[in-house]
Amino acid sequence: MLEGVNLMRAGPVLAISGAALTFLLLERPRFPAMLVLLGYGAVAALSLDPTLMQDLSSLVPAFRLPTLHVPSISWGDVLTGVLALAVPQAALTLGNAVIATAEEHNHLFPDRRVSVRLLAFDHAVMNLVAARLGGVPMCRGAGGMAGHVRFGARTGGALVILGTLLLTAALFLSDSMGTLFRLFPMPVLGVILFFGGIELAASTNGEAVPRDERTIMVVTAGVALWNMGVAYVAGLVLYYAAARGIVRL
């Protein structure tokens, strides 16, 4: 949530409008909040960057298969990777990408449970294979899953759609990714991260507080990391909007 707020600070008006739009659409499956938010971000990017439309119109799709290259790895590289990268990252990966992801998944989908052992094995195979092909370290994350679910994903089909889009972009637009990324303003990305954090925090049952009240608490606390006065107003607005049924939390 803090990282989301930091990104939203780069464009407060754009971010606040995007957040308000998201709150209004989260419980309306006919209007997927994520698609609307991405469309909103794209329109804003085109409006704020006069050269973007010209750059997009000059894109020429070209099919290109990835070039696989097995790099040479010395024992010194292995030692550096273990001490400088693996050991410092171990706690975060085990906590967020393995244990928390398993807990979040089993909470959201109790009839399709996964084990910590399975996720740990999955990460191990994924990174051992990727490293030998020159790939970067990869992991899952509870925040990513929470974000997908918060914005409407309910089945594995959502990831199939996402994977298809990414593969298509990689195979046909690999030279144009920098231009395409300009369609996603950082403040809008901040809204997505912020709502992913809300989903993780509001899903807890620590004090048996109703979910809508937990959501209001989390939003207020998250915005307070940036500005206490704005957080106070945001909390009040959200409380009265929820009480009157304008938004469903």
The span from the CA of 210 to the CA of 189, in Å, is 28
Q: What is the pLDDT of residue 160?
A: 92
Q: What is the pLDDT of residues 85-115, one digit of tens each?
A: 888 888 888 888 899 899 888 988 899 899 9
Q: Phi/psi of residue 190, each to 5°?
A: -60, -40
Share of the chain above pLDDT 70, in %: 95
- Residue 69 gets the label, from left (phi > 0), alpha (psi -120 to 50) or beta, of beta
The span from the CA of 105 to the CA of 108, in Å, is 5
Q: What is the pLDDT of residue 117?
A: 94
Q: What is the pLDDT of residue 208?
A: 60
Q: What is the pLDDT of residue 215?
A: 80
Query: At residue 240, what is the residue type?
Result: Y
The full set of domain ranges for the chain reads 2-61+177-243, 75-174
Contacts of 140 (CB under 8 A, 6+ apart): 97, 98, 101, 119, 122, 123
With b for 16 or more beta-carbon neighbours within 10 A and e for fewer, the 189-199 pattern comes to bbbbbbbbbbb
Indicate whether 175 pLDDT > 90.
no
At 207, is the pLDDT very low, low, confident or very high (cuts 50, 70, 90)? Answer: low
Contacts of 116 (CB under 8 A, 6+ apart): 98, 99, 102
Q: Which residue has the tokens 């004090």?
A: 207
Q: What is the pLDDT of residue 4?
A: 86
Highest mean pLDDT among 101-105, 195-199, 209-213: 101-105
Q: What is the pLDDT of residue 142?
A: 82
